[in-house]
Amino acid sequence: MLFPGVDLLDVTGPPEVFSLLRREMPDATGYRVVLGALSVEPVTTAAGVRVLPDLTFEQLANGRIDTLIVPGSVESDASGRVRAITEPDVVEWTRVLAARSARVASVCVGAHLLAAAGLLDGKRATTHWSTAQQLAADFPAVHVDADPIFIRQGNVWTGAGITACLDLSLALITEDFGEVVALRVARQLVMYLKRTSGQSQFSVPLEPASTTRRMEHLRHHIAASIDAPLTVPNLARQANISERQLTRIFKTELGTTPAAYVESARVEAARSRLESTDDTLDRIATACGFNSIDTLIRAFRRKLDTTPTHYRERFHP
């Protein structure tokens, strides 16, 4: 769906993911993406980029839709507070087109349009964290959970903010074409991991905006040797610098200490295993360099304010 002020990435992100399916399955039919709007005149997005619709909403309402993808738009006041926009005519067409669709998926704050159309009543739903309180306040019949990157409730899917549209699109591909194909598409997107629906919108910050080549080498060494003794002396030898210089580089480039960064990297590795495997906590602790379950638990409490067991209960598929 297209409408004035829509977030550009919400519109272009899913089609980019779907188009990569043709590289992995050249003989498959794949997806045919159709952009619909109130008219076929160009639509100006929030980014100022104009997008040309293929059909009108009225034309789309005459046929069957496999997947209706509903993006969102926001406005901000002078203080920078963000609010999702729900124009009545877009809400009404969302309701009409959803009735013609086998499944419906909102991207980012598009969940507000689904809620306004009555499609989320009694359902769990997520949206961008910045408008989650608004969604809960405006639509008390919706069970808002701002943490997961996407949630599926029957044939209705809601996605979290911005780049989570990629994860949501990969999940749709998984449902239609299987896990193996979706993972291959994720690799084409250069995504580190195809995240599951329960994955939190928030993550331990391991990817700084820019670092020196030496720091990049150290970060990759840590990730590849997560179960090894990653002490300050060992890391200094790996980088061929003094321990004092190593500590100074971490503080300057990453704003943290070597030990804190290593612990964050190990927590991330453990999170991935908790989400995607049935390994015991003892095995995960050993594989991620924690050496004991108690050390693993303490790290999770420090970084995520939860325990590995509770994290698995919530985020394991």
Q: Are residues 235 and 305 in the same domain?
A: yes
Q: Are residues 38 and 173 in the same domain?
A: yes
Q: Are residues 41 and 170 in the same domain?
A: yes
- Residues ≥6 apart with Cβ < 8 Å to 157: 103, 104, 105, 106, 150, 151, 168, 171, 172
Q: Are residues 138 and 273 in the same domain?
A: no
Residues involved in catalysis: 108
Residue 154: how many other CB atoms lie within 10 Å: 8
Of residues 158, 129, 163, the one with CA closest to residue 7:
163
Q: Are residues 157 and 287 in the same domain?
A: no
Query: Which residue(s) pair with 304 in the sheet?
Result: none
- Residues ≥6 apart with Cβ < 8 Å to 106: 69, 70, 71, 72, 113, 114, 125, 127, 157, 158, 159
180 vs 198: CA distance, rounded Å = 19
297 in any annotated domain: yes
| CATH at residue 308 | 1.10.10.60
147 in any annotated domain: yes
126 in any annotated domain: yes
Query: Containing domain of residue 285, as a range?
Result: 213-315
Q: Are residues 144 and 183 in the same domain?
A: yes
Q: What is the pLDDT along the chain (317 residues), one digit of tens a residue?
A: 999 999 999 999 999 999 998 888 887 778 999 999 999 999 999 999 999 999 999 999 999 999 999 999 999 877 778 899 999 999 999 999 999 999 999 999 999 999 999 999 999 999 998 899 999 999 999 999 887 888 999 999 999 877 788 889 999 998 999 888 888 888 888 764 445 555 454 454 444 545 678 888 888 899 889 999 999 999 999 999 999 999 999 988 888 899 999 999 999 899 889 988 999 999 999 999 998 999 999 999 888 878 999 888 876 66
| CATH at residue 173 | 3.40.50.880
Indicate the number of domains in the chain: 2
